[in-house]
A and B are shown apart, each in its own frame.
Chain A
Amino acid sequence: MNVHAPITLTVAEQALLNAFDAAAGELPGDAAVISARDRLLHAVRVEGLPTRRVEAWHYTDLRALLRSVPAADPAASAKVVAPLVEGAHVLSILDGKASTKGAPKGVSVASYGAALTAGTSAADLAERGADDAIGRLNGAFVKDGLAITVGSDADLSSPIEIQVAQSRGQSHVRLPVTVEEGVTATLIERHISTDDAPSLVTAVTDLTVGKGADVTYVIVQQQGETDSHLGQIRFTIGQEAKLTLFVINAGGKLVRQEIHGVVTGEGSNLTLRAVNLMGGETHTDVTFTMGHDVPNTTSTEIIRNVLFDRARGVFQGQIRVAPDAQKTDAKMACNTLLLSDDADLSAKPELEIFADDVQCGHGATVADIDPTQFYYLQARGIPAPKARALLIKAFVAEIVEELDDEPLVEALESVIEAWLDKHSI
């Protein structure tokens, strides 16, 4: 028999258990949901948060890095802010409480809290595996969220912005999003902080891209300097469908954004682009796994990291090609601009290929600003600090500009500029 000695809980772990006890009465769900929550939290109680000994968390020792967890705060007072793209349809989740108002025609929006109460969502709460700490925490605590279905009659001349605004305390939200067959849609999942107090947000998104659909899904994380953000998006892409997933991390003290995708339909394509802006004493992790499970699918992944100060960054990217997924074409690149000797980036690309007729590749670069480009700009009269700022912005703007949507490109560039203005060197 295998008996584990009970672990000594950290301050953060104890705070999580306390928060669960405090909230237990008000967490929505039928018996199946309640038992799923208990099981998930039990795992936290017994195993604690993952440490570097758990492979998926090797570079982000959550147990050591998550120093404290703020209790739910009745003074929480997040309000909706203007959307990133003018004219976007805003669906809001304020301090964890979702509103179903604001959906454009043809888009159905339902409260996830209501789904939990009705007991139709217990199965969603299952963790992805023993190392799924984000799924575990979110599943145990999730109270609300938005279930969004974009139908074929949707009027999407403007994007949908799902605005998750947190002032303080903690929130755990779920976003099941389905884009139906043949629909072209742009959705922006935006995480913002509305005050300086520390917060913990976990967010799990389940995105289903229907057959022939063309979806641009943007995750913009702009949490505050004292906030912890644990995000996870799981997606499937149907036959002949296209998903452009764009992630910008421009905030937070401790951030992990997981991206877990499976292409399930032939002829489908994933374009993943991520911009990670890191400064101060922060830790930002983007972990990506991708399964090419059927033949004739393509994916390209480009990750651009900019690090200042004593920031630590992590990129883990794993592409799996199933034995019968012939003609898979996958290319992954992780490029880093390291602007401080005290900053640090760990990149771990992995390819697991079980088919023999595929094209897969990966590459990682780490560099400072290119001295020739820097000299060229200066030789045209652009002073050194400005030349440097231009080149840093250019390094990330290059992938933003690939998006074929001018208002969206401008909105994302303004997020990047605002961040860089605060972190100039």
Chain B
Amino acid sequence: MLEIKNLHAKIADTETEIIRGLNLTVKAGEVAAIMGPNGSGKSTLSYILSGREDYEVTDGDILYNGESILELDPAERAAKGIFLAFQYPVEIPGVATMQFLKVAMNEQRKARGEDELTTPDFMRRVKDAAGKLQIDPAMLKRPLNVGFSGGEKKRAEILQMALLEPKLCVLDETDSGLDIDALKIVADGVNALRSPDRATIVITHYQRLLDYIVPDTVHVLYKGQVIKSGDKTLAHELEANGYADVIGAAA
């Protein structure tokens, strides 16, 4: 589903290269965990996948279902099914969460040539999905992410993911700032979306989240490259021994 080939990327208005020859393949149905120390390029990779303008790809390619997405803007990528759950969801005063959900769902549908949702259909979908994530309906009337607690913001991200039904989900540090109960709710939400035609990339510092979202593959990112790949046991090794051994072995 996703094939990243020899990717090099830098911050657009500087010369600082952050991704330096990254290779990664994620198949449909797979949950891939990307781990790595601070500053290894994990969040940058998530932004580049979503098409954020602040980053510039200088070499290599990203193929999604066999086609390069480098020329697509973020909205086009989203409509094709790429979803990024943000590490720091953005507060948007003046836009009610419900209104935002409706616009996002309908714009994606329009882009795919589908009919817009009727209001009752939309309401039903939101109510179902919010219930599963234990989201208080009152929260959805508030401006998007404004005044939400850390846990509410992360749940709101997973709610958007559930409603938008993406094909490639990228979760950037979704566990940060969550207590154990909230973590379980979020993980359940993610697991509910696991399916043979959907791939998930879980970016995390810690092994903890991977106890709840069990990955098929684990990749260690360091200095903008994948330096080691393995199965879920690799995450346990990292937890026990830290990154030093893996980094040392790769050097």
Chain A interface residues toward B at CB < 8 A: 371-373, 375-384, 386-387, 390-391, 393-398, 401
Q: Which residue of B lies closest to A399 (CB)?
A: B94
Query: Are the C-beta atoms of B95 and A394 separated by less than 8 Å?
Result: yes
Q: How far is the CB of B45 from chain A (nearest CB, A)?
A: 14
Q: Which residues of A contact B54 (CB under 8 A)?
A: 371
Q: Which residues of A contact B78 (CB under 8 A)?
A: 378-381
Q: List 7 A-B contacts (CB under 8 A).
A: A373-B90, A377-B92, A379-B50, A379-B86, A380-B78, A390-B95, A398-B94
Q: Which residues of A contact B94 (CB under 8 A)?
A: 393-398, 401
Q: Which residue of A lies closest to B89 (CB)?
A: A376
Query: Are the C-beta atoms of A372 and B90 separated by less than 8 Å?
Result: yes
Q: How far is the CB of B180 from chain A (nearest CB, A)?
A: 28
Q: Which residue of B lies closest to A397 (CB)?
A: B94
Known contacts A372-B90, A390-B95, A397-B94, A378 near B143 by CB under 8 Å: no
| B2 interfacial by beta-carbon distance below 8 Å | no
Query: Are the C-beta atoms of A384 and B75 separated by less than 8 Å?
Result: yes
Please measure, in the bound complex, the distance between the C-alpha atom of A393 and the C-alpha atom of B94, giving whole angstroms.
8
Q: Which residues of B contact A371 (CB under 8 A)?
A: 53-54
**Which bucket holds chain B's interface residue count?**
20 to 34
Please measure, in the bound complex, the distance between the C-alpha atom of A390 and the C-alpha atom of B103, giving whole angstroms.
10
Please measure, in the bound complex, the distance between the C-alpha atom of A384 and the C-alpha atom of B160, giving whole angstroms.
19
Q: Which listed segment binds A: B26-34, B104-112, B231-239?
A: B104-112
Chain B interface residues toward A at CB < 8 A: 50-54, 73-75, 77-79, 84, 86, 89-90, 92-95, 100, 103-104, 107-108, 111, 143, 160, 164
Contacts across chains A and B counted by CB atoms under 8 Å: 75
Please measure, in the bound complex, the distance between the C-alpha atom of A384 and the C-alpha atom of B107, giving whole angstroms.
11
Q: Which residues of B contact A383 (CB under 8 A)?
A: 75, 107, 111
Q: Which residue of B lies closest to A375 (CB)?
A: B52
Q: Which residues of A contact B89 (CB under 8 A)?
A: 376
Q: How far is the CB of B154 from chain A (nearest CB, A)?
A: 15
Query: Are the C-beta atoms of A376 and B90 separated by less than 8 Å?
Result: yes
Q: Which residues of B contact A395 (CB under 8 A)?
A: 94
**Partner pick for B103 among A375, A384, A386, A396, CB 8 A cutoff:** A386
Known contacts A381-B79, A381-B108, A384-B73, A375 near B92 by CB under 8 Å: no
Known contacts A376-B86, A396-B94, A382 near B52 by CB under 8 Å: no
Known contacts A375-B52, A375-B53, A381 near B93 by CB under 8 Å: no
Q: Which residue of A lies closest to B90 (CB)?
A: A376
Please measure, in the bound complex, the distance between the C-alpha atom of A378 and the C-alpha atom of B103, giving whole angstroms.
11
Q: Which residues of B contact A379 (CB under 8 A)?
A: 50-52, 74-75, 77-78, 84, 86
7 closest pairs, A vs B, by CB?
Answer: A394-B94, A381-B78, A398-B94, A381-B108, A378-B74, A376-B90, A380-B104
Q: How far is the CB of A105 from chain B (nearest CB, A)?
A: 35
Other A-B contacts than A381-B111, A394-B94, 7 sampled, CB-CB below 8 A, are A375-B53, A376-B89, A383-B111, A384-B75, A391-B92, A394-B93, A401-B94
Q: Which residues of A contact B51 (CB under 8 A)?
A: 378-379
Known contacts A376-B86, A378-B74, A398-B94, A386 near B107 by CB under 8 Å: yes
Interface centre among A379, A387, A394 (most CB of B within 10 A): A379
Known contacts A381-B75, A381-B78, A376 near B92 by CB under 8 Å: yes
Q: Which residues of A contact B53 (CB under 8 A)?
A: 371, 375
Please measure, in the bound complex, the distance between the C-alpha atom of A373 and the C-alpha atom of B74, giving whole angstroms.
13
Q: Which residues of A contact B75 (CB under 8 A)?
A: 378-379, 381-384, 387
